[in-house]
Amino acid sequence: MTTFNVENINVTAFDPMPSPEDLHQRLPLSEAAGNTVTQGREALRNILERKDPRLFVVVGPCSIHDPVAGLDYARRLRKLQDEVGDALLLVMRVYFEKPRTTTGWKGYINDPDMDDSFRVDEGMHKARKFLLDVCELGLATGTEALDPISPQFLGDLIAWTAIGARTTESQTHREMSSGLSTPVGFKNGTDGDVSIAINAILSASHPHSFLGLNDQGRVAIVRTRGNRHGHVVLRGGDGRPNYDTVSVAMAEQALTKAGLPANIVVDCSHANSYKNPALQPLVMTDVVNQVRLGNRSLVGVMIESNIVAGKQNIPADLSQLKYGCSVTDGCVDWETTETMIRDAAKSLRPLLAERLK
């Protein structure tokens, strides 16, 4: 019998991964973490359904690379939540996967040691441990779903999910979103096109059947019921912002035309701040002012924030990394973050009763 060398020609190895079930058994969902996830998801759904007049704020590092600094940040954010929780729901941004146009560090799951060793098995374990630690503080978490397999390992610890501008148009991510247990924010395209996000919301709201992974790590046909809590995230595009009143009004009209709830989140970073993190406070102030003037479609904001402002390159000697400073996109520092959130809460408190009407 003739054999043909036609498979996996460019694959060098298939390294084993623990199954989602194995990882869950090693790092089980605790009662405290489970309560945080459940309450966080319910609060987010209530905001989207106008049962809760608050805004939600997805805030935190552009990406997690140092779990010690990440937990330091989480403890600060948890304390701030106690202070502003009557006006804002704070959700910690916990991003482990970074999309790359060409090359670069792909995130904590893919390369946890930041040395191109790509110990994905260790990265997944460390990511789940970090999420458990944050949730056990009583702080809800939000993340970007980039790899369609990761939610099986981590999804029980997530309260809010983003689909990025590069993947909102992807059928794989729309199908995956239809089965996620969280509300999902779909970002407009990198060119600023909001229709891509609206089509994604519509698609994800319907049932789908597709190939995926079950808890035992076996390939399975995943059948979903659809996710009715999709919403648009405006992040600007083509180097131009789209958080202004005209852009928001146009997004509202497009959502209404599609028969969808007018739920809009503004990402204060990316093109909305011209990729200058120092402009994020101005974006947030503008969004809060729109709410003060009567806008009812704006339900949340996103902020890229860390302990230290700016960003840093990854050095060959990792001991030289600056503590609490981003290694991906630049962030505002903690003091600026506190001011942004406290000012927003102060401005919104008098409006909450009217907003609920």
- Residue 4, domain member (yes or no): no
Buried b / exposed e across 250-277, counting CB within 10 Å, b at 16+?
A: ebbebbeeeebbbbbbbbbbbbbbeeeb
Give the C-alpha separation, 159 to 181, whole Å. 8
Label residue 72 exposed, middle or buried (CB < 10 Å: 0-12, 13-18, 19+): middle
Q: Is the distance from CB of 53 to CB of 291 less than 8 angstroms? A: no
- pLDDT computed for residue 273 by the predictor: 97
Burial environment of residue 36 by CB neighbours within 10 A (0 to 12, 13 to 18, 19 or more): buried
d(CA 184, CA 177): 7
Element (H, E) at 210: strand 209-213
CA distance 105 to 103: 7
Tell me if 122 is assigned to some domain: yes
What CA–CA distance (Å, rounded) separates 18 from 302?
Answer: 33
pLDDT of residue 99: 74
pLDDT of residue 12: 94
d(CA 352, CA 357): 9
Q: Where are the alpha helices (DSSP H) in the chain?
A: 20-26, 31-48, 67-84, 120-136, 150-154, 171-179, 195-204, 245-257, 280-292, 334-348, 352-356
Asked if residue 203 belongs to a domain, the reply is yes
Residue 175 lies in a domain: yes
Residue 16 placed within a domain: no
CA 87 to chain centroid, in Å, comes to 21
Q: What is the pLDDT of residue 3?
A: 79
Residues 6+ apart with CB under 8 A from 19: 215, 216, 217
10-residue mean pLDDT profile of the chain (357 residues): values are 86 95 98 98 98 98 98 98 98 89 83 94 98 98 96 98 96 98 98 97 98 96 98 96 98 98 98 97 98 97 98 94 97 98 97 85
Q: Residue 13 domain-assigned?
A: no
In a domain, 351, yes or no: yes
- Give the pair of three-digit tokens for residue 35: 């309560």
CATH number of the domain at 275, please. Answer: 3.20.20.70
pLDDT at 217: 95
**Number of domains observed in the structure of the chain:** 1
Tokens linked to 2: 């003739």
| pLDDT recorded at residue 351 | 94
Domain that holds residue 104: 21-356
Q: Is residue 154 part of a domain?
A: yes
Chain-centre distance for alpha carbon 219: 26
Q: What pLDDT score was predicted for residue 247?
A: 98
